[in-house]
Amino acid sequence: MVPCDEAHHVCDKTQYKESSFWEKLKLHFHLMYCKACRKYTRNNKKLSSTIHKAKVECLDKKCKEAMKQEFEKALKDQLK
């Protein structure tokens, strides 16, 4: 038997094609009897599909760092 927290982890790995055949098989059997994990898997697939369809783009490291520095400067100015 696979505990639910492990099933969630394998579900996540499966979405990113990082799980082994054995993990997928254990997940499949777990999903046969666990309604909560079936719901988790279904919601996880919906979320990934929505993000993929939205074509979400992340900021690069330079942009993130610049925003962080700007925020920290504004925070310091505000606390003075």
pLDDT per residue of the chain (80 residues) written in tens, 0 to 9: 789 999 999 999 998 889 999 999 999 999 999 999 999 999 999 998 898 888 877 888 999 999 999 999 999 998 87
Model pLDDT, residue 57: 79
Domain holding 73, by residue range, is 4-79
* The pLDDT value given to residue 15: 87
Instruction: Please tell me whether residue 71 adopts helix, strand or coil conformation.
Output: helix
**Sequence letter at residue 70:** E
DSSP-H helix ranges across 1-60: 4-15, 21-33, 35-54
> What's the alpha-carbon Rg for the chain, to the nearest Å?
20
Domain count, the chain: 1
pTM for the model stands at 0.65
